[in-house]
Amino acid sequence: MTDSVSNSQAVSSSKGFAGRSSALAVATGIMASRLMGLVRDRIFAHYLGNSYVADAFRAMFRIPNILQNLFGEGVLSASFIPVYARLRAEERHQEASELAEAIFAILVMVTSVLVLAGVFASPLLVKAIAPGFHDAKRDLSIRLVRILFPGAALFALSAWCLGVLNSHRKFLLSYTAPIIWNLAMIVAFLWNGGRQGQEHLAIVIAMASVLGSGLMFAVQLPSVLRLLHPLSLQLRLGSASVKIVIRNFFPVFLSRGVVQVSAFVDSMIASYLPTSAISALAYAQTLNSLPVSLFGMAVSAAELPAMSSALGTTEEIAGVLRQRLAQGLQNIAFFVVPSAVAFLVLGDVVVAAIYRTGKFGSHDVTLVWNVLAGSAVGLLASTSGRLYSSAFYALRDTRTPLNFAIIRVVLTIGLGYLFALPLPRLLHINPLWGVAGLTLSAGLAGWVEFALLRRKLHARIGAVPSQAPRILRLWGAALVAAGIAYGVKRVLPFHNVRYASLIVGAIVLPLFGVLYLAFTRILGIMPPASLKRLTGRRG
């Protein structure tokens, strides 16, 4: 009995280390690709600012995300990876390869039909996504949709590669592949970008996006084919495993679909606001997506295959899930809490350091900061909620996250409309500031969804130890660090110097990070093991 317990603890420890290493690999890949995305956005802001062309491009740039989100990473993570990972854990490798081949064939067929329909229905799509667009802005939007839509199918196929690679615990390649996509657009911007009209430049960037998405798929494919070797090339679409994936697919598809509805409703509402609203929303979402992707997605993506591979009795599986949830939530909170505080208190420094040059001025900085502050309200809830959803997916339960996603979307839409359109009129403020109400409403709804997910999962697997005392100390450390950094910002003498935004950001933001780490250590909160490995510390 003692030997059995010792072996179990050793396996658990080994799996825990592997999970932390996997999360670090995902975070490293996401960090590299997101930083390249920031460079892309930085150049975008320099050339297009918050103009009507920027509004049109940003609204239509959602098109690649349609198929990516509906048929891509999130859906495959929930429906394909648990089944594929379980087959591999049971050493049914041939059946796992056949499953991957069948899912690829289905994706190719379905996305091809949707791309063809999307290209021909582009005027209707523009009317649905941005009904407030008219004249030149609407015409440009239609042209952009027709160019961008084929790239969406390539995004979905790239996400299939990610699903296979993640199931084999090979995270780095799949999460660094978007670097090539971003790089393609950056090259297109720099290639004669300053000597082209804004509309022509937007068309060139859309073409580069499609080219980059194809390259992103191409760089992952050889590694995937090696993992699936030998290929049977016999599509067994009627196998039991394929049926399970398809059965699980539709609830997650609907879950992602309602989230997309929320995103499109945001665009619809923002299209009725003055010019700059949609582009400001997109700039803020790029920044907000950094902690969501780096910490929420990284931990969730790394934990899903591990949780899905857990074998044993119902109680043993529940114990594994509780352990992995507790560790994952601690890691997420350590990084997300200071991110939210930075967006709230130092958001102008963050926005100015990244975007302020060329067409992007001080008014744009203030606008995007307000939108970013709204998104910070629900940042911890949205990142932690991803991990709880992954636990449900590991249990082959895709319907519960769907039900709660619908509740969140309904709340987001209702509050978003209220905060963005009627409320600014009632408060007699500039209607443009209503765009901040969209992110604030999403944050509030995110907390409702998180509370529902947490209560339901705890009722099923048992309560995960409370994180409240630790999180309160994290908030305290972050707020004190931000207060000191804000005071330093106010006394710095560089405000009228060229590149002042970069200089201030280079001083204030690292200072905030160092102070936060110091205060958490004083409060007895140890950093995650992944951060210790990065800094070379042992403890």
Express as a percent the part of the chain with pLDDT over 90.
27
pLDDT interval class at 534 (50, 70, 90): very low
- Average pLDDT, integer, range 439-445: 91
Structural domain boundaries, residue 80? 51-250
- In this predicted structure, what is the pLDDT of residue 8? 38
* H-helix or E-strand spanning residue 534: helix 529-535
Whether 199 is covered by a domain: the verdict is yes
Read off the tokens for 384: 């932690």
Inside any domain, residue 128: yes
Return d(Cα 315, Cα 462) in angstroms, integer.
9
Q: Domain for residue 87, yes or no?
A: yes
Which pTM was predicted? 0.72
In a domain, 123, yes or no: yes
Distance CA 255, CA 258 (A): 5
Please check the confidence at residue 488 and state whether its pLDDT lies above 50.
yes
Tell me if 171 is assigned to some domain.
yes
Measure the CA angle with vertex 193, ends 191 and 197; round to 5°: 140
Say which amino acid occupies 415: L
The mean pLDDT of 258-271, rounded to a whole number, is 74
Whether residue 528 is preceded by a cis peptide bond, meaning omega within 30 degrees of 0, is no
Whether the Cβ atoms of residue 537 and residue 381 lie closer than 8 Å to each other: no
DSSP string covering 115-170, please? Answer: HHHHHHTHHHHHHHH-TT--HHHHHHHHHHHHHHHHHHHHHHHHHHHHHHHHHTT-
Number of domains within the chain: 1
Task: Provide the pLDDT for residue 345.
Answer: 95
Q: What is the pLDDT of residue 351?
A: 93
- How far apart are alpha carbons 134 and 355 in whole angstroms? 28
Residue 72 scores a pLDDT above 80: no
Instruction: Compute CA distances 18 → 78, 85, 146, 264, 345, whole Å.
Output: 21, 15, 43, 38, 36
6 found inside a domain: no
346 close to 314: Cβ distance less than 8 angstroms: no
Reported as a single tens digit per residue, the pLDDT across 377-433 is 999 998 898 888 888 888 878 788 888 988 988 898 899 999 999 999 999 888 888
Does a structural domain hold residue 360? Answer: no
Cβ–Cβ under 8 Å, residues 474 and 525: yes
- Residue 359 maps to a domain: no
